[in-house]
A and B are shown apart, each in its own frame.
Chain A
Amino acid sequence: MTQPVQYLALAGLLFAVGAIGALVRRSSVVILMSIELMLNAVNLTFVTFARMQGSLDGQVLAFFVIVVAAAEAVVGLAIIVAIFRRVRSALADDVRTLKW
């Protein structure tokens, strides 16, 4: 029988992996993918908590997180494409017009 702590620890590790990806990678698309990974880790904790409580509220919350993540991915990718059209680069370091 698996225990909640195993699911929660796995979600924590996945979140850390996503954070490392967002820090290490330089391509904006892969950074966005790392953020999706972190959101998924949080979703796993929501579903685990819902199972612990024996209620559905956590699952509904995870559902909302999925919807918001979809909207976020769409807008983020649109911004990346718009920047790519202007500076011809997909690297996050090449966007530094506002950097002093």
Chain B
Amino acid sequence: MEKYLFWVMAVTALLSGLGMVMARNAVHSALMLVVNFFALAVFYVLLGAHFLAAVQIIVYAGAIMVLFLFVIMLMGVQREEPADEPIRFQRPLALLAGGALGGLLVFVIRTSFGLARFAEQAGSSSAGNAQGIGRALFTSYLFPFEVTSILLIVAAIGVVVIGRREPESEEPAAPAPASSEPGGGP
């Protein structure tokens, strides 16, 4: 059962990834990527990482992809990429390089992990996966966790600063008419 689920989901993940790369419409790419995220969430469940599967769906498929779709809609959906290549032979060269990278990765993984086996029990303590992650996060990984909060604050402030509309012209006398404009960041 687990084996069949793995193969079905592996095919789904690879096909949706390829579909994301090849879709001409950016919205189709985003939807293909959502399919890919769900397939990865299934893999996380198979590997015993139930909490990460939930986070994957909530954060990635829920939040990040909505943000991507929002930006795509903001810039116009019907916009399609031109078919001409700015660099000559860009597509064949990229396919060659990517195929070589994939082949190399699979070769190295097969030679170094071909005999690897899973541990007997999943890494969840008796209390369960989410509880174990919470305990690890707030004991041995407390400092990285706090640094992450700083990163998120910096990202939020940076987005507000980047997304702010620049004032049209500097008028020191005028009482800043554009200041009521909302931040405009996505």
Contact = CB atoms under 8 A, between A and B. Distances in A.
Nearest to A45: B109
Q: How large is the interface on B (under 10, 10 to 19, 20 to 34, 35 or more residues)?
A: 35 or more
B98 A19 contact: yes
Interface residues of A, number: 72
A91 B71 contact: no
A70 B64 contact: yes
Contact of B101 (A16, A29, A66, A70): A16
A34 B102 CA distance: 15
Contacts of A63: 51-52, 55, 133, 137
Given A5-B114, A64-B148, A51 B68 contact: no
Given A1-B2, A47-B44, A59 B105 contact: no
Contacts of B93: 23
Contact of A51 (B48, B90, B151): B48
8 contacts: A15-B101, A19-B97, A26-B81, A36-B33, A52-B119, A74-B155, A74-B186, A84-B74
